[in-house]
Chains A and B, each alone.
Chain A
Amino acid sequence: MSSIRSIARHLKPGLRVLGFNKGVLGSVRNAAHFTYFPDTVSEAQGETTRMNLFQSVNSALDTALATDSTAVIFGEDVGFGGVFRCTIGLQDKHGKDRVFNTPLCEQGIAAFGIGLAAAGATAIAEIQFADYIFPAFDQIVNEAAKFRYRSGGLFNCGKLTIRAPCSAVGHGALYHSQSPEAFFAHVPGIKVVIPRGPIKAKGLLLACIRDPNPCIFFEPKVLYRSAVEEVPVSDYTETIGKADVLVEGDDVTLIGWGTQVHVLREVADLAAERLNVSCEVIDLVSILPWDRDTVFKSVCKTGRCLISHEAPLTGGFGAELAASIQTDCFLNLEAPVQRVTGHDTPFPHVHEPFYMPTKWRCLEAVKKLVNY
């Protein structure tokens, strides 16, 4: 894995998106698959600084280390700042015993974090790419998730947070593009969280770090540089398990998370423009546990629902949402729930534009929903 990863470090996620978003080349082949919709915060949140996603992650980590002397950050290459710059400056500021490299071994990283957390220390582990979290699957599923339950609450590793860059980046192919959240959604005992931008990322990451349960925090790597907004400099947390209604609408509910939220916001605009359809856009934010109330309330209002995620269709988290919506909103549904997702294939390299759940595929699904 390591040699391939070293190549990936030279792929600068985000820049490509910025470069081509503005239509510099105007070519379909190189077009970004989304346009970033920045969040804003109220003035009550105090002073803000312009940050991209990696900087807001860095800010959250810095805050976590500054406010908790037991907190440590570790993983592959985090010492010099991380291959995505998320830990830059933290070792110099907080010390080598608190921000350090580990040997290249994901099962070791996850387990080392469990052991730290079991001793009462705050453990913030990094898996370099979500694609490489699978060697740690046993430690996460059989150990971290079950630590409290199996001991009758005598022991726990609630102070563990695992961060990992996830999802499509334009050219990441099979092993730098995966969205593995559904594998973890089937695991009672952990929390799984995915932010859509810098403001959410900082608040949610701090919430995960301080949550008394082991959390997996997936960071959409295409947003590391491309997503920029005014992020509060203060120490704040966002609620895990709470979805956000980003756009209110009456005809169709669009549900996504991570980068796909921005695709869906564009779909909502396109649907209004071309189909005269009013869409409600929901960022699920938290995959496990997920916000049933917000989702059901919206679908009961609109009667139609589109779920969209980058991960493959079969066994994707969309299936869980669709089944639950069917159970709880049956009398309100005017059309079958639609899922627009990645195909049931590995994530391809040059064919990424054909793999992605693009705004055009989503728009077509909205058309189906309203014409049903």
Chain B
Amino acid sequence: MLKTGFSKLCPLARASFAPKCIYGLASSNRRWYGEGVGGYTPTEAVGSDGSEVRPQFPGATASWTHDLEFVNADRYNGIPVYRVMDRSGRVIQAKDEPKIPDDTLIDMYQKMTLLNTMDKILYESQRQGRISFYMTNYGEEGTHMGSAAALDPKDFIYGQYRESGVLMYRGYTLDQFMNQCYGNEMDAGKGRQMPIHYGSPAHNFCTISSPLATQMPQAVGTAYAFKRSPEKRCVICYFGEGSSSEGDAHAAFNFAAVLDAPIIFFCRNNGYAISTPTREQYRGDGIAGRGPAYGIASIRVDGNDTLAVYNATVAARNMAINENKPVLIEAMTYRIGHHSTSDDSSAYRSVDEVRYWDSTDHPIARMRLYLSHKGLWNEQKEKEWKNSAKKQVMEAFQRAEKRPLASWENVFTDVYHEMPPHLEAQMKSMRDHMKEYGKHYPVTSDRK
């Protein structure tokens, strides 16, 4: 009614709209016959007796059926979990063992333990009120190092917040981690964000933000920009299984597939989103089960098997770079630590459950066993490295704690590229205020 009525009032409206409709049809036909899935052509649609042999709807390529049958979620026999080594660190099929140089393997292991050491010290420092907040990476170190080692350093990373190991693998220093957590004058982020919201252009690691899953469709945009540039780069985007419930996750998967973006979606499925177990998060076959529905090649790996994570990421990167298409990796793991320092996870899960993963299926322990079998590691080295790691972390910790806070002027800068007049006025007003009332504020930068 609305449309008809309006056309009567404005005949031009209808006339000028017609070309759009025709174009629209032609466009959809072109896509369907020329670029559509399966290479289906209209001649195939008609049988020798002139009957339609296949449906011709533009929305899907499929056959007819005469059985009224719903497709059910096959969640009891889910996508299998890809594994390279067992819990004793033995490679199960020799052909699967990645050819990682010995020094790289040792580096991966050392950084897993260094991260673990840093986590313990920073977690404790939060308990003592020395930093305001922290989130540990316990149990997920294997997903970090396995994937990071498989990437090229120029590949760009978007993370959620529990991927510090990826940054550590790339060479982000202990001082950089600590400076951020303290928000001191050496923090490249200028003390503006909560602890663990790291970022570094030098390491191609986009600054972390708290809103969950927002980085996912952003990562697709960056991947699209890479596709258009002459450089062979891809994007890897990390997120948890809880974040996958956000609308932005849906946006990201769909945009990546439709726009052919060279991106690796890396899901850390650790069983919990704060207190929410996965059975309250989804009812399908995890996150990997969603990939094919978006037209995304997908795989599920043992996230506590660093070699399996490595192999899957290497293969995913090849697909992303060479075929300009998205790949989804779901790494199955377990969040051994509390969600954050603001969370006591014993309120919603048993200590026994946590102990099981910590003692019998830990990525660090498994990697250590693997290195020992290869003769690359032993008790002596372990002891020396643990002492060294602890010393390094403590020294960086003390350096960071002694540094003055980032200056208060950082409140006003970087809001825009330039400072607009109204912000200049507000900054000046604050400066005048500080002249008179400065003694009531924690002006550490002036005390150095």
Contacts and interface: CB of A to CB of B under 8 A. Distances in A.
| Most chain A beta-carbon contacts within 10 A, residue among B7, B222, B247 | B222
Contact of A12 (B10, B193, B413): B10
A213 B415 CA distance: 9
A229 B228 CA distance: 37
Contacts of A236: none
B192 A116 contact: no
B430 to A, nearest CB: 15
Contacts of B421: 289, 292-293
B116 interface: no
B212 to A, nearest CB: 10
5 closest pairs, A vs B, by CB?
A115-B221, A108-B251, A111-B217, A119-B225, A151-B207
Interface string A217-242: 00000000000000000000000010
Given A112-B224, A118-B218, 17 more contacts: A11-B13, A15-B10, A16-B9, A80-B24, A103-B255, A105-B251, A115-B223, A115-B224, A119-B225, A119-B226, A148-B415, A148-B416, A149-B192, A149-B414, A151-B206, A155-B207, A171-B6
Interface of A: 7, 9-12, 15-16, 19, 70, 72, 79-81, 97, 100, 102-103, 105, 107-108, 111-121, 123, 135, 138-139, 142-143, 146-156, 158, 171, 188-189, 191, 211-213, 241, 289, 292-293
A115 B209 contact: no
Interface string B196-208: 0101110000110
30 contacts: A10-B3, A11-B6, A70-B225, A80-B20, A80-B27, A102-B255, A108-B254, A111-B251, A111-B252, A112-B224, A112-B255, A112-B259, A118-B206, A119-B156, A119-B225, A135-B247, A139-B217, A142-B209, A142-B211, A149-B415, A150-B189, A150-B192, A150-B193, A150-B209, A151-B189, A152-B190, A153-B413, A154-B200, A155-B199, A188-B423
Contacts of B53: none
Contacts of B410: 152
A346 B50 CA distance: 55
Interface of B: 2-3, 6-7, 9-10, 12-13, 16-17, 20, 23-24, 27, 156, 187-190, 192-193, 197, 199-201, 206-207, 209, 211, 214, 216-226, 228-229, 247-248, 250-252, 254-255, 258-259, 410, 413-418, 420-423
Nearest to A214: B416
Contacts of B206: 118, 151, 155
Given A108-B251, A112-B255, A188 B415 contact: yes
Contacts of B192: 149-150, 152
Nearest to B23: A80
